[in-house]
Chain A
Amino acid sequence: MLEGRGLTYRIGAQALVEDVSLTVTPGEIVAIVGANGAGKSTLLKLLCGDLRPERGSVLLEGQPIHQWSKRDLARRRAVLPQSSALGFGFSALEVVLMGRSPHVQGIERPVDYAIARAALAAARVDHLAERSYLTLSGGEQQRVQLARVLAQIWEDTGARYLLLDEPTNNLDLTHQHGTLAIATDFARRGVGVLTILHDLNLAAQYADHVLVLKAGRVLADDRPNAVFTPALIREAFDIAVTVVPHPSLDCPLIIAEPQNSFIKEI
């Protein structure tokens, strides 16, 4: 279990995250949603151990995350960044093989190549395996990075966790759903998935649990059907929406009302 307890993080007097608690259990997908600046990325960084909370603690399997050795942690938990500034011409396959580095000493074994190729196929970029990363489009790069983190925790070595920071950025409709379908698949195989999402309908359709942040605090933490009400969405995002039942799935469907423009005549 990945657990954040009473997490608070401030820069100066401003609290970016205030008293947030959450748990991610192997087998479930937890989505973090919230307006820009609500503290989603800061919360993810705290849960990764990249930032140290001012108050509160992050536990992985009951042990404080900073007490894990970096390598053991990397074998259990992979993190997909929002974007990656890789400026060197590795092939896509080489980038994905880097995901195997916590498991490898010396030269990659055939099994590492097999996993890397399977991860490329899962992220639907196997046809790009030999292409230089620098020549790929933004969406293709994002999917290669996804394949890299999948390869990192591919094998079932006990409880594993996948942390995704806006994984659907830059992706077309097919690959947005493709990415979350992979997350669902990994969850079914016992991986705990935590993902930041902007699209509430993606969160509603794929997440088991949704955590809504507003100004660094938890506004709601429940099943999508309970969280996504017009009142709560108005409070979190300051927007009027209509929520209807999804015609074929057991989840809500959120439709935004037309908005007024803020352009003023001067």
Chain B
Amino acid sequence: MAVTQALSKEEQTPGQAVTRADRPARRLALPLLALLLIAVVLLAVGIGAVAINPEQVVAILLKQVGIATAIPFETRQESVLMVIRLPRVVMGVLIGATLAVSGAAIQGLFRNPLADPGLIGISSGAALAAALMIVLGTTVLSSVTALLGSFALPLAAFIGGFAATLLIYRLATLGGRTSVPTMLLAGIAINALCGAVIGMMTYVASDDQLRDITFWSLGSLGRANWSLIAALLPFTLLTLLPLPLLARSLNAMLLGETEAGHLGVNVERVKLAVIVLVALGVGADVAVAGVIGFLGLVVPHLIRLVLGPDHRLLLPASALLGASLLVGADLLARTVAVPAEVPIGIVTALVGGPFFLWLLLRDRRRTGF
């Protein structure tokens, strides 16, 4: 009797039972993460040698669009905000969001929560091209430098990253099918090759060039300005906007490629789309800010811990958290050792490395392996 009652009760409310999708954490996640991002941005643009409080930040921003407010601020504050801090923070938001979303998508594609965009050669290909430009830009490649000026380095890095990724993709594709394990192995080989050539470049580099290579391979948002952002923005949007549309397909692919195919997903097309979009976005990130590690690995992990693995929530939530964390890390990088600036890659690796180890140990304890 009790059983039939329970059954009929459930029949009255089909689909109304509480699912994880309805839990407050999931519904509130995106608004809360957006608030966090706004708070971090306001904090980051306000802190530095010239302090600007959040009210003044809002007043200065409103002035740019022609709205006058009663809140007083100095012109010095306005120029520091508009010329130095804001471009830097905006660049941090774009790069942080792109790296985190790319990490989440690549982890889905590889069905491995420990994958990261660097696995498919983007970072090492870009780093190789950058090292070549830095060391050979004044000699063998001087015509390229003459032609492109200050854009030679970012452009070379972008092309290098994209080319390495495409090479790895081609190596792993046979008869129209891409083997994900082969991609992983080809990625390791290409990464090692790039590393060898970079090593060669550092060996022959002069002291100045060596400092450039080091600085670049550790990442920095210090070169931020509005024209660089204008160059970065289209690539970033090309990654951030279409990837969430693939969320459902990425979910299905976690079941296995064959299973996803049986659910109607065009697996090969999804793979190609994810790789190209990630290579464009991360390639552009690396080109303007150098190599920034661990963000793409750690942010999707954090989100999964709290919100579960559904890519429909994971991708936008990763974008917001990635943006917040990179802006926060950059704030730390430029304030922790004033007047010097720590490369941001050191900050993300110092925080991300131990966190990653903690994740590994926790997983191992949980699964018993």
Question: Which positions in A face B, CB cutoff 8 Å?
Answer: 48, 50, 70-75, 77-79, 81, 84-91, 93-95, 98-99, 101-102, 104, 110-114, 117, 129-130, 152
Contacts and interface: CB of A to CB of B under 8 A. Distances in A.
8 contacts: A81-B258, A86-B255, A87-B112, A89-B308, A90-B254, A90-B309, A98-B251, A114-B15
Nearest to A104: B248
B222 interface: no
Contacts of A87: 111-113, 254
Contact of B256 (A81, A90, A101, A117): A81
Interface string B2-19: 000000001000111111
Given A75-B264, A84-B256, 8 more contacts: A70-B264, A79-B258, A93-B19, A94-B20, A99-B263, A101-B265, A111-B14, A130-B19
A48 B262 contact: yes
B264 A81 contact: no
A249 B343 CA distance: 77
Q: Which 10 A-B pairs have the closest CB atoms?
A: A113-B15, A74-B264, A114-B14, A88-B309, A71-B264, A110-B15, A102-B264, A79-B262, A70-B264, A114-B15
Contacts, number: 92
Interface string B39-76: 00000000000000000000000000000000000000
Contact of B263 (A86, A102, A113, A130): A102
Q: In this complex, which of B15, B20, B261 has the most chain A Cβ atoms within 10 angstroms of its Cβ?
A: B15
A111 B15 CA distance: 7
Contacts of B19: 91, 93-94, 113, 129-130
A89 B309 contact: yes
Interface of B is mostly: loop
Q: In this complex, which of A71, A117, A152 has the most chain B Cβ atoms within 10 angstroms of its Cβ?
A: A117
A111 B16 CA distance: 10
Q: In this complex, which of B14, B18, B265 has the most chain A Cβ atoms within 10 angstroms of its Cβ?
A: B14
A87 B262 CA distance: 19
Interface of B: 10, 14-20, 111-113, 248, 251-252, 254-256, 258-259, 261-266, 304, 308-310
Given A48-B262, A74-B264, A91-B20, A101 B252 contact: yes
A75 B254 CA distance: 20
B265 A70 contact: yes
Contacts of B308: 89-91, 94
B266 A70 contact: yes
Interface of A is mostly: helix
B359 to A, nearest CB: 14
Contacts of A91: 19-20, 308
Contact of B264 (A84, A101, A114, A117): A101
A98 B262 contact: no
Contacts of B309: 88-90
Q: In this complex, which of B15, B261, B263, B264 has the most chain A Cβ atoms within 10 angstroms of its Cβ?
A: B263
B179 to A, nearest CB: 15
A92 B251 CA distance: 14
A206 to B, nearest CB: 23
B25 to A, nearest CB: 14
A71 B252 CA distance: 13
Contacts of A117: 10, 14-15, 17
